[in-house]
Each structure stands twice: as C-alpha cells, then as structure tokens.
Chains A and B, each alone.
Chain A
Amino acid sequence: MNELRRKATVSGIGQSEIGRRLMRNPLDLTLDACVAAIEDAGLRREEIDGLSTYPGAMGPGGFSGAGISDVHDALRLPLRWFNGGPEHPGQLGSVIEACMAVACGLANHVLCFRSVWEATYQGKGKRAGLGLGGGESSGGGYRASGMMEYTLPFRAYSAVNWIALFAQRHFHEYGTTREQLAWIALNARRNAGKNPSAIYRDPMTLDDYLSARMISTPLCLFDCDVPADGATAFIVSRPERAADLRREPLFVESVGCALKGRPSWDQFDDLSTMATRDAGPALWEGTELGPGDVDVAELYDGFSFITLSWLESLGFCGKGEGGAFIEGGERIALDGSLPLNTHGGQLSAGRLHGYGFLHEACLQLWGEGGERQVPGDPQVAVAAAGGGPLAGCLLLTKG
C-alpha cells in the first residue's frame, strides 16, 4: 500500500474531433480537448492550477501536437505546478504525475493532455513510422544516436520491428499463434463498430486478419494501430475539490509505474514480455483490489502484442497464457468476463497514444459508453499505456 490511494480523482474528460488527415492546426485540436475537459468538470479555467503532458513540445513531426507552454499561454492559466516531457512511465505517466501533484497539495485541478497529428503530418508527404524520435533517416547527414544507435543501423526502422522481436519470442516460448493474437485486433474492430468516433468500423474476420499483408513477422497490418489526428484531455482533481463538481468523481485507486529491468528495447532481460512486467504487478501493490475485481480493461494496443503483454503482466492470466486467454474472443467481449478495449483501441479507433484508453475507462465507469457500454454498471476499470520500455497504468473506481 502507498500514500496515493484515493488521493486523486478524475473529474472531467474531453476529446477533440478525431480522424485521418484532418489538416487542422494541432494546437487547435489540443485546445478543443482541453476546453471540453474543463467544461466537462464544471470548472472555470482560472481554477486550473496544474498542467501535465506527454511528451511535451517536440517540434515538427506530428508526434506531439502541443507542449506545456503552448497550452499554458493559449489558455492563460494561473499555474502552481506543471510537468511535461517524454521520460515518464508510459504516456499515462503524465497523468500519474498529476495524481501525485494533487495528492501532495501542489495543485487542486491539473489539466492533462496528449495530442497527435501524425495522420496529417504523414499526409503532407513526410515519411511514416520511423519510430520515436527517429528523425529523418534516409540520407542527408543523419547519424543515429541515443536509443536509435543500436536499432536503426540494423534496418529496424520502426517500433513494429522492435515489438515483433518480443512477439516472436513469446510465440517460441509459449506456442502462441497468429490465430490467437488475432483476437486483439478482431475484438477491437468489433467494439469500434459500436463507436461512432472510431476510424475503422467495418467488420473484420479471422480470414481478413490471417490474409493481411505482413509487416514484420509475426505482426501483420492489422496488428499495427492507425495513425490519427486528435487530442484527449483530463482534469485530475483533489478529492475534496472534486466533491461538488458536476460529475461523480472517479477515484484513482492505484497506479503502476515500476521499471526494474533495463530501460531498453533490445536489452530488457525477458524478451517475451516488456516493461509491462514491472508496471503491472506494481499496480496491485497499491490496493487491496486484485485482477478479479476489474470490470473493464483498456490496455494499450499500439501493436496487438502489447495488449497481450499487459493482460499477462496485470495478472488477468498467467505468464505465457495470454494467447489461450483471448482465443475465440468471448472472454474479452463487451459481455465477457473481462471487456477489453471497448472503444476499439488504437488498432481501430485511432492512435491517441495512450490517453484514449483512460478516456474510455472513464466513459465506461460513468455509464456513457453508448452502444458499446459494458453491462452491469462497471465499478472498477484499469487503463494501461506503453510498450517496450514504456509502461504505466492506473486503476480507477467509481465511488
């Protein structure tokens, strides 16, 4: 148990228009989400005294739509605390930091945001998918350094290559198959069909999946998420300041941000899992709840294998049992024992880069999932984001 339990709440959420190649100014999208979240919480903007984001300002490239200073200045916020940057336990690490800030009394209401405009950037004729901070690699005087020094020179240009190496090792050690992994993508598409703001909503069959173009074995096109433009925002509030707001506050019951193995794509000790292995169990150290108490799971699917790794790491099944757990797709369906990625995930709803999962977890707990609402008034949700050396997760409860 730690000191964070029930010391922070989510009091409001907001999202911009989401789509492929919206050709809109990324700060404009970001502010749409931020203003929506502030209004959703029933706050006035002068009450927002904290600001947090991942990965912060990064210049052109589409990977970041806005930094802390952009939003701070555009909304003229009277900040007491702020935080932005890429070195967090996953994309949701920026929300975990906000939880700590309000728990410590450094702020009352922290606005958290993440915006992406990769679809538009790629649509302008820029090269796609060279991974985090990859820069332009084709010629010029570019030379790889930092985390790219030991990947790009070996023609491993994209995170799909790096994730595929983990997936192949999992297949080798545990007999996991493409027919099993397919259910991450098939379940996502099934749910996206019930989400009007999802990007890909047409039904997908197992045959569609198995006959899809291979990208990096064993991962095919449908194992890779879809670049999108869009922004998502949350208000993280001190419980005593959230009680009188418009919405019933959702309590942050616990967070997981451990990383005990090496922070690396190729040097992590166990190649059949990732940083999820450390962050997942850490979530349960902060609470008396356990995996069996979770009513809905929103687990990062930038690539399908990452979701499998989160399922195992969070203890929904044993290590190596993820393939059997998802096979057939019944257990993870909206009416199954563990509804998973109920909005369609990044695979079908679009790459909002981690924040989309927490947004959906909140919607489900507030009973606002519409056609895709999980039945039975869910009380406990887990949202997890990150793959490779990035991993962070939150456990939310209603009441």
Chain B
Amino acid sequence: MSAEQPFRVLPRVTEENAHFWRGGEQGQLQFLRCSACRTWIHPTSPRCPECLGKGLVVESASGRATVLTYTFNHQPWVPSADHPYPIAIVELEEQTGLRLMTNLVNLSNEDVAIGLAVRVVFEQREDVWFPLFEPADAALRRVGADPA
C-alpha cells in the first residue's frame, strides 16, 4: 500500500469476529464454517444458518473472489486524495452468497468491472487487517495506483 493510506473507520473487534478482522496477520481470510454441513458463515453467528448446528470452526478461504457490483465514491465524506475510489461487493469462490463489501485496490479505475476476478490483500491499521481485493490477473495490477 502507498504511504498515504486513506482514513478508515475501525471495526469493534470481539471474541466472535476476531478471526475475520485479524486473520490477515497470518495472511488468511477466515470465516466460521459449519463442521456438520460445511456451510461458510458470514457475518458470524452462534449457529449454522443452514442446519442450525453449533459445531462451528474457523477456516481459511482461498481469498479468490469475483466482483458482483461496485460504485465509485466521489463524495468527500472524509477528506482524502484518492477520490473517486471503488467500493465493491465481492463473492468468494467457496460458496454462492459468501460475500463481502470491500474496496478494490491496486488497479486502475477503468479496469473495475462486474465479473472481474480478484484476490484478497490485507491492509493493517492498529489491531485490524482489512480484507481488500486486487485483480487476480497480475497484468491488471498497479501497485499504489492513482485513481484513473
């Protein structure tokens, strides 16, 4: 990431969600998963939403995902040099519906598209590792890219 990182609101990290927000410390994108029916669960819950089982374990996903939709935010809610920046919803390859809102990074804005294959990268702030996504195709990556 570039030296000038944009402001980010930090999430409140708890015992329940620490695997998600701090998995990036080991480079892992982690979710709860049902040990009975193998459903991935996000956000966290005490029970599997499919089989209602309580046997949930933390597992790492591949981090490979597809962009389902995106928007470029132009409004300076918080001052930053990188407007407009892309916000996206991506779907992890592990399971239909296993999704995250995120930011797309390390690419030109003109390459942002629905259907774009992406992979997770982590950006650390304090005790949080934000899962962000960059193009899976190395040819599209622009490390520290300025917005188009």
Contacts of A205 in B (CB 8 A): none
The answer to whether B102 and A215 have CB atoms under 8 Å apart is: no
* CA of A71 to CA of B85, assembled, Å: 44
Write the B74-106 contact mask toward A (1 if CB under 8 angstroms, else 0): 110110000011011100000001011111000
* CA of A165 to CA of B99, assembled, Å: 13
- Select A216's contact among B10, B71, B114, beta carbons within 8 Å: B71
Q: Which residue of A lies closest to B75 (CB)?
A: A215
The answer to whether A168 and B101 have CB atoms under 8 Å apart is: no
Contacts of A214 in B (CB 8 A): 72, 74, 84
- Select A155's contact among B89, B99, B103, beta carbons within 8 Å: B103
Contacts of A164 in B (CB 8 A): 71
* CA of A384 to CA of B97, assembled, Å: 28
* CA of A62 to CA of B103, assembled, Å: 30
User: Can you sample 16 A-B contacts with CB below 8 Å?
Assistant: A144-B12, A145-B12, A152-B11, A155-B8, A156-B87, A156-B101, A161-B73, A164-B71, A165-B71, A169-B68, A214-B72, A215-B74, A216-B73, A217-B72, A219-B71, A265-B101
The answer to whether A153 and B114 have CB atoms under 8 Å apart is: no
A208-257 CB contacts (< 8 Å) to partner B:
213-219
- Contacts A137-B9, A143-B12 hold; do A168 and B87 have CB atoms under 8 A apart? no
The answer to whether A157 and B69 have CB atoms under 8 Å apart is: no
- Contacts A144-B11, A156-B87, A158-B75 hold; do A151 and B68 have CB atoms under 8 A apart? no
The answer to whether A165 and B70 have CB atoms under 8 Å apart is: yes
Q: Which residues of A contact B (CB under 8 A)?
A: 129-130, 137-138, 142-145, 148-158, 160-161, 164-169, 172, 213-219, 265-267, 269, 271
- Contacts A143-B11, A154-B101, A269-B97 hold; do A168 and B69 have CB atoms under 8 A apart? yes
* CA of A151 to CA of B43, assembled, Å: 12
The answer to whether B68 and A129 have CB atoms under 8 Å apart is: no
- Select A165's contact among B10, B74, B89, beta carbons within 8 Å: B89
B11-70 CB contacts (< 8 Å) to partner A:
11-13, 17, 42-43, 68-70
The answer to whether B74 and A213 have CB atoms under 8 Å apart is: yes
* CA of A172 to CA of B67, assembled, Å: 12
* CA of A150 to CA of B128, assembled, Å: 13
Q: How far is the CB of A349 from chain B (nearest CB, A)?
A: 22
Q: For B6, B69, B102, which residue has the most chain A Cβ atoms within 10 angstroms?
A: B69
The answer to whether B71 and A217 have CB atoms under 8 Å apart is: yes
* CA of A164 to CA of B71, assembled, Å: 6
* CA of A143 to CA of B125, assembled, Å: 13
Q: For B11, B43, B68, B71, which residue has the most chain A Cβ atoms within 10 angstroms?
A: B71
Q: How far is the CB of B79 from chain A (nearest CB, A)?
A: 10
Contacts of B122 in A (CB 8 A): none
Contacts of B89 in A (CB 8 A): 165, 266, 271
Q: How far is the CB of B110 from chain A (nearest CB, A)?
A: 13
- Contacts A155-B85, A168-B114, A266-B89 hold; do A138 and B70 have CB atoms under 8 A apart? no
The answer to whether B69 and A217 have CB atoms under 8 Å apart is: no
The answer to whether B12 and A149 have CB atoms under 8 Å apart is: yes
The answer to whether A154 and B102 have CB atoms under 8 Å apart is: yes
Contacts of A265 in B (CB 8 A): 101
Q: For B6, B7, B72, B75, which residue has the most chain A Cβ atoms within 10 angstroms?
A: B75
- Contacts A143-B11, A150-B101, A172-B114 hold; do A216 and B69 have CB atoms under 8 A apart? no
Contacts of A168 in B (CB 8 A): 69-71, 114
Contacts of A152 in B (CB 8 A): 9, 11
Q: How far is the CB of A303 from chain B (nearest CB, A)?
A: 12
Contacts of A130 in B (CB 8 A): 77
- Contacts A143-B11, A169-B114 hold; do A271 and B97 have CB atoms under 8 A apart? no
* CA of A219 to CA of B77, assembled, Å: 15
- Select A267's contact among B12, B97, B102, beta carbons within 8 Å: B97
Contacts of B87 in A (CB 8 A): 154-156, 161, 165, 216
The answer to whether A142 and B77 have CB atoms under 8 Å apart is: no
* CA of A285 to CA of B77, assembled, Å: 42
Give the 9 A-B CB pairs with smallest separation, nearest first.
A164-B71, A143-B12, A169-B69, A152-B9, A157-B77, A145-B12, A266-B101, A217-B72, A214-B74
Q: How far is the CB of A58 from chain B (nearest CB, A)?
A: 20
* CA of A213 to CA of B102, assembled, Å: 24
Contacts of A154 in B (CB 8 A): 8, 87, 101-103, 130
